[in-house]
Structure 1
Amino acid sequence: MERATRQRSAIKEALQTAARPLLAQEVLDLAARHVPNLGIATVYRNLKAMVEDGTLRQVVLPGENPRFEMGSHGHHHHFQCTQCQRVFDIHSCPSDLAMLAPKGFRVEDHDLTLYGRCKDC
């Protein structure tokens, strides 16, 4: 278990406060408000460690850098704004997607991303 540091606490607080998946640069921008001189290498090192210990989870969208969110979220999906590129959580699921699989196939997991414009755009 990693020890608690000011940097790690600021990174965790940034992700909790944002309440949406963040890019590493967005994490840095928010966390640096509490820890001046925080560097991107420190952010990446802590994000990696926090993913490994289950505190955070990566959100990977095709052609995008990974985003990070709290690992305590249950099953959910995402919405990406095509205007500002921000990603938001969708806390619902469209039920049984197994019926979409070819006959004889077994669905073990799924990931769904909706695209459009967010309320700010």
Structure 2
Amino acid sequence: MQETANILKDHGIRPSLQRVFVYRYLRSVKTHPTVDEIYMALLPEHPSLSRTTVYNTLELLLENDLAISLDFGDGFLRYDADCSPHSHFKCRKCGKVYDIFVAPPDCTQMIPPGFTLQGTSLYMFGLCDKCAVGDGDARSEAGMTVEN
């Protein structure tokens, strides 16, 4: 818990217990949870926690580069504490989101003069290996690393 509090302090965030709980949880999972999923996971051990606190904490983490948000167009954001350059794959059947440790493409040559690129993201869609029965493991053949 102290390590998580120190990371928050190092990024200028006052480490309240609720913020520590939310950030520690986000760092511990690879499921790319939504606000509601984080809230429901923490609620049994922290009954005084509110959805608003979870939402506000996530916004603070985003503002201070301790998390990224993912928008797959399904009406809610997912969150990831891994801010290293990587891409994401969402299975269209089971809905799981996987980290793909291939950096998004360098788009600096595509933007008009005078623009400043501050980041890129790549969202991929398809079927995961469990849902795509019989398709083989195309990801390992392509040299991609998948974690969930």
TM, length-normalised to structure 1: 0.75
Q: Give the alignment's Cα RMSD to 1 decimal.
A: 2.4
Supply the distance in 1 between the matched residues of 2:44 and 2:96 (Cα, whole angstroms).
20
Structure 2 partner of 1:32: 43
Rg comparison, structure with higher value? 2
Structure 1 gap ranges (5+) = 99-104
Aligned to 1:106: 110
Matched-pair contact (CA < 8 Å) for 2:66–2:83: no
Alignment match, 2:91: 81
Superposition deviation, residue 97 in structure 1 = 6.5
Number of equivalent positions: 113
Mapped pair 1:118 → 2:128: yes
Is 2:25 the counterpart of 1:5?
A: no
Once the two structures are overlaid, the 10-residue window that deviates more, 9-18 or 56-65, is: 56-65
Map residues 44-59 of structure 1 onto 2, 5 A cutoff: 44-59=55-70
| Greater RCO, 1 or 2 (C-alpha within 8 Å, sep 6+) | 1
Runs ≥4 residues deviating over 6 A: none
Paired position in structure 2 for 1:101: none
By how many angstroms is 1:116 displaced? Answer: 2.5
Q: Tell me, what secondary structure is at the counterpart of 2:84?
A: coil
